[in-house]
A and B are shown apart, each in its own frame.
Chain A
Amino acid sequence: MIGVVRFPGSCDEVDALKAASLVDEARILWHQETDLEGADAVIVPGGFSYGDYLRVGAIARFSPIMGAVIEFARAGGAVLGICNGFQVLCEAGLLPGALLPNQSLRFLCRQVEVEVVDAGTPFTRACEEGERLSIPVKHTSGCWFAPAEQLDRARVVLRYAPGHNPNGSLRDVAGVCNEAGNVVGLMPHPEHAVDDFEGSTDGRKLFSSLARAFV
């Protein structure tokens, strides 16, 4: 079962739930819960958790469900943070770096090309390294930054293809994982690229990677 967290202010959890349902049973996990109902993987979705007050992800990181997610992640469980979920996982210290406001200071919503840098994570193992995926981004704070002491050690999972970095992200990083590779954070939204009507189905590969990871 894939658990999809819902915070007050989440807005992409239903799309994530539907995308996850393509590969396994999926269920919403309310932010006030303290257990993951036996989930085999967890998705922390996009949106504006707790209104993004103070800093993006800062309040959500301390919600009851995140206590369980952090414990699950530290035990090696597969956790994917998408957009706001990526910001929450960075605030929680599960992923290196932080997400700063876009260099343009504008909200961005566009289709971008990303390259798979690391196909060794539970969310990218159905991809080839170097493969290009067309996935949309939509965010105001997507400029990934890491201080020097984290930067060279950070494991990059997805990189914006040349000319596609929409937000000024350091080294064109679109997604990173922790050292063990079980926790992944992405700014692009694979759950918005799973059906022909969305213009691309490349996002499906990340969910089918997960199905493969369960086997």
Chain B
Amino acid sequence: MRARVLVRPKAGILDPQGKVVERALPALGFEGVRNVHVGRLIELDVEDPSRLEEMCERLLTNPLIEDYEVVTDPGSGPAATGRGAEGSPPGGPAERPAPGRVSP
């Protein structure tokens, strides 16, 4: 099965890459851009998707600093969400767009 793991810096921690991109866009004339975060996309074929969460917790992400979402049928939405969101400041993750969705 094809799976996609979306990894992003945990809300509330320093994301210097996101900040740099956020500053670079207006410099190119793209105004009105906020809350830019740069993460990582890992795509993989797995025989046993039930083990994906364990893979994420042990190797693919560092739960101290990253949140993740697993999409096992890319295009149909997240299958599992990293538990790392506990303790995030209010308004953090909720302000971010849902994965797999493209804004019009």
Contacts and interface: CB of A to CB of B under 8 A. Distances in A.
Interface of A: 54-55, 58, 62, 91, 97-98, 100-105, 143, 145-150, 168
Contacts of B13: 100, 145
B64 A103 contact: no
| Shortest beta-carbon contacts, A-B, top 3 | A98-B65, A105-B16, A98-B64
A149 B88 CA distance: 12
A55 B64 contact: no
B3 interface: no
Interface residues of B, number: 11
Given A147-B87, A148-B87, A149-B87, A91 B62 contact: yes
Most B Cβ at <10 Å: residue of A97, A98, A147: A147
B20 A105 contact: yes
A54 B20 CA distance: 21
A97 B59 CA distance: 16
Nearest to B61: A55
Nearest to A103: B16
Contacts of A54: 59-60
A101 B17 contact: yes
B92 to A, nearest CB: 13
B46 interface: no
B25 interface: no
B53 to A, nearest CB: 17
Interface string B1-23: 00000000000011011001000
Contacts, number: 37
11 contacts: A54-B59, A97-B64, A100-B65, A101-B16, A105-B16, A105-B17, A145-B14, A146-B64, A147-B64, A149-B87, A168-B16
Given A98-B64, A145-B14, 15 more contacts: A54-B60, A98-B62, A98-B65, A100-B16, A100-B65, A103-B16, A104-B16, A105-B17, A105-B20, A143-B14, A145-B13, A145-B64, A145-B65, A148-B87, A168-B14
Contacts of B20: 105
Interface string B73-103: 0000000000000010000000000000000
Interface string B37-64: 0000000000000000000000110101
A148 B10 CA distance: 13
Contacts of A148: 87
Nearest to B16: A105
Contacts of B59: 54, 58, 62
Contacts of B65: 98, 100, 145
Contacts of A103: 14, 16
Nearest to A61: B59
